[in-house]
Amino acid sequence: MADTILMAHGSGGKLAHRLVEDLIMPAISGTDPARLDDSAIIELRGRMAFTTDSYVIDPIFFPGGDIGKLAVCGTTNDLSMSGARPLYMSLSFIIEEGLPVSDLKRILESIHSAADEAGVRIVTGDTKVVDHGNADKLYVNTAGIGTIPTGVDISGANIRPGDKVILSGTIGDHGIAIMSKREGLQFGTNLLSDCAPLNKLVEDMIGASDNIHALRDPTRGGLATTLNELCLQSGTKVVVEEKKIPIRDEVAAACEMLGLDPMYVANEGKLVAFVTPSDAGKVLSAMRLNKYGTDSAIIGEVEEPDEAPSVVMKTLLGTSRLIDILVGDLLPRIC
Amino acid sequence: MKYASEFRQGKLAGGVVASISRASRRPVTFMEFCGSHTVAIFRYGIRQVLPKTVTTVSGPGCPICVTANSDLDKAIALALIPGVILASFGDVLRVPGSKTSLQSVRAEGADIRVVYSAMDAVRIAQQNPDQRVVLLGIGFETTAPTIAAAILQAEEMGLRNFTVLSWHKLCPPAIKALLDAGDVALDGLICPGHVSAITGAAAWEFIAQDYGIPCVVSGFEPLDILHCIDMLVAQAENGQAKVEIAYRRGVQQNGNVTAQHLMETVFESCDADWRGMGTIPHSGLRLREDYARFDADREFTIVPGPTREPQGCICGDVLRAVKTPVDCPLFGKSCTPETPVGACMVSSEGSCFTYYLYGGKNG
């Protein structure tokens, strides 16, 4: 096998076959029935959730994960947030000519282990190679299918005044881990991305209560943007308390240094749940027993809207302010 | 690493607020010069906890906001020269110039790269020896030393294709110009923490001495700012005017001498155009003659077209604290963060953006 990916690896010829057979299939064989037909045949019954996503993260390796793990977790989590049990995934690579084969191998290994952990099977895929400069190292596209258990109805539209808002852990870990890697910043400790599959956590939550109204993973745009989307979808007012939102010291410090508001910084292994108040305790306890929910906390509740739907934060000083959707990109300060 | 949470304790803050309320008798107006302070004041709702006697107003301390349209036009013209790679900090891209923005010309094919540090631009120059890399040198005293370091690095590496378009601005001359204009009566100045970390608190002595205005250097956590306001109230009530530091963990009397030396090695002061305030003497930095070959202004001849200010935008008045963003007829209507008309709605530390983000379209 060559040391780097060449155009010929995407040509459909011999090199392309060897890439799939020698590198890709072994790495994901544990999750794949290993049939090389043109499409995967799968059996499904009942209500289904179907999602797609593309991953273009730079850098492709970051503290706590890589683009492959991110793709599996991101797809799994999108399905989980509808209450679905993720079952099958597709995986397509667009590779820039010149990518070291060893990098691809590492990424495939992490895809393998993330899929194993999530219990999701990668049943179909594709590989294309583009000229140097026409892509940035590696892009990954996925689709995912899951089944929704009978009786589960989870949607932002179900949120009601009185619901408690539960967050599964600290905010901002992923975004700050990426930024520190990208900019070569050091914050005294090795901060890792929180990138993780959350389907088992969601199963535990659904096992604990039939009254989970909505679930969402606050990825791009952070918690602030997710809460805004949900308040708009449900026509409610969401009130959260700053002091109850878990945040690591190093993330708070990094945000301060870069001039960022952690409410807008991305997460890849967190979820926010809206739950009937009487069940909030049960759900919280179940979450804290899962390794991806040990720092879970009730951070606020839903109220009747004032004039329009809104998200309001009670600050540490006891004052309150609006939390709006992120506009544009998060950028570090320049002065 | 821990240094933020200690300065965010609600209970302690309550104590400082009580102290401010007890001490404050006469109505006072304090200006926070720095955009980072404006953001923190809004983010923690500090204006809401202050007694009615204490008003804070936002000043011009956002380097992107104060960049003149003529400078933006020049950068846009530079970016359009074939073979030029323009390296810029991100926010600048979205600021509308007279006719277009860097973001728009980038979409049309100009090679504009977002960098996170000046050294990134040096690396780009190294990797693209056949192209000319121009770094937009934007910022106050905080950014200038890092750009100076990048220039020295480029010199050491023998790079012939790296230049800087220096828009650097200095804070003390701007505050002097603001006070001389007499548009706004101030009883105290919340002095910028990051800038003071470089210049030292001594940079503000002239304000206390010549203008009789109390000055306190503040950090950026809620307790820092409240502590600063408490000290300003005490000075104002006692009829004092001196420079104090409420941010001892970040700022010394004489600042960062190494950084100052770097700046002085590479740059010298010059007159500079500020949006809303016109030309302010000795308020900018240009490259010294010894470093002329790294100076984009000398290396390129650019004659941009006539400059045009956006109709109805009151960024200039907002920057001088004569008006607030909500006084602007465009605010929250035709001018929003998605469709900014003026620079103050673009920058994440601009007054209009901050009012909009934390207060909604009604401020």
Q: Is beta strand B162-166 parallel, antiparallel or unpaired with respect to B132-137?
A: parallel
Residue of chain B minimizing CA distance to A247: B5
* Interface test mutation site (partner B, options A247, A316, A324, A329, max chain B beta carbons within 10 A): A316
CA distance B318 to chain A (A): 20
Are B265 and B324 found together in one domain?
A: no
CA–CA distance, B38 with B43 (Å, rounded to integer): 8
pLDDT of residue A45: 87
pTM for the predicted model, two decimal places: 0.82
**Hunting for tokens 């690896």 — which residue is that?**
A9
pLDDT of residue B101: 92
Are A129 and A175 found together in one domain?
A: no
Q: Tell me whether residues A317 and B17 touch, CB distance under 8 A.
A: yes
Interface of B with A in 23-52 (CB under 8 A): 34-36, 39, 42-46, 48-49
Q: Tell me whether residues B36 and A261 touch, CB distance under 8 A.
A: no
Cβ proximity of B178 and B319 under 8 Å: no
DSSP-derived 3-state class of residue A95: strand
A253 closest CB neighbour out of B4, B13, B39: B4
CA distance B137 to chain A (A): 10
**Hunting for tokens 């520190």 — which residue is that?**
A180
| Rounded CA Rg of chain B | 21
In a domain, B286, yes or no: yes
Are B43 and B135 found together in one domain?
A: yes
- CA A79 from chain center: how many Å? 10
Q: Tell me whether residues A252 and B17 touch, CB distance under 8 A.
A: no
Residue of chain B minimizing CA distance to A325: B357
DSSP-derived 3-state class of residue B55: strand
Cβ proximity of B285 and B270 under 8 Å: yes
The domain total for chain A is 2
Cβ proximity of A85 and A146 under 8 Å: yes
Interface of A with B in 305-334 (CB under 8 A): 310, 315-322, 324, 327-329, 331-334
| Rounded CA Rg of chain A | 21
> Which structural domain range is residue B347 located in?
315-356
pLDDT of residue A72: 97
In chain B, which stretches have pLDDT less than 50? 1
Amino acid at A315: T
B143 closest CB neighbour out of A187, A329, A335: A335
Are A116 and A190 found together in one domain?
A: no
Residue A227 has which token pair? 């809460």
Residue B138 has which token pair? 């934007």
The angle, 0 to 180 degrees and rounded to 10, between the axes of the packed helices B35-43 and B351-359 is 10
| B11 interface with A at CB cutoff 8 Å | no
In a domain, A328, yes or no: no
In a domain, A329, yes or no: no
Are A174 and A112 found together in one domain?
A: no
pLDDT of residue A259: 77
| B22 interface with A at CB cutoff 8 Å | no
Cβ proximity of A95 and A5 under 8 Å: yes
Interface of A with B in 170-189 (CB under 8 A): 182-183, 187-189
| B286 interface with A at CB cutoff 8 Å | no
In degrees, rounded to 5, the angle at the alpha carbon of residue A211 between the alpha carbons of residues A205 and A213 is 90
CA distance A267 to chain B (A): 20
- How many Cα atoms sit within 13 Å of A100 on the Cβ side? 6
Residue B255 has which token pair? 């600042």
Phi and psi at B34, nearest 5°, equal: -90, 135
Across chain B, mean pLDDT equals: 93
pLDDT of residue B2: 56
CA–CA distance, B159 with B197 (Å, rounded to integer): 31
* Interface test mutation site (partner A, options B6, B9, B36, B44, max chain A beta carbons within 10 A): B44
From chain B, the residues in CB contact with A237 under 8 A are: none
Interface of B with A in 151-170 (CB under 8 A): none
In a domain, B330, yes or no: yes
In a domain, B362, yes or no: no
Of chain A, the end-to-end C-alpha distance in Å amounts to 49
CA–CA distance, A29 with A21 (Å, rounded to integer): 10
Residues B273-299: tens digit of each pLDDT: 999 889 999 999 999 999 999 999 999
DSSP-derived 3-state class of residue A38: coil
What DSSP string runs through B109-140? T-EEEE-SSHHHHHHHHHH-TTSEEEEEE--S
In chain A, which stretches have pLDDT less than 70? 1, 29-36, 183-189, 328-335
Are A212 and A282 found together in one domain?
A: yes
| B111 interface with A at CB cutoff 8 Å | no
Are A247 and A314 found together in one domain?
A: yes
pLDDT of residue B1: 44
Q: Measuring CA to CA, which residue among A310, A292, A45 is closest to residue A167? A: A292
Burial of A291 (0-12, 13-18, 19+ CB in 10 A): exposed
CATH of the domain at A288: 3.90.650.10
CATH of the domain at B27: 3.40.50.11740
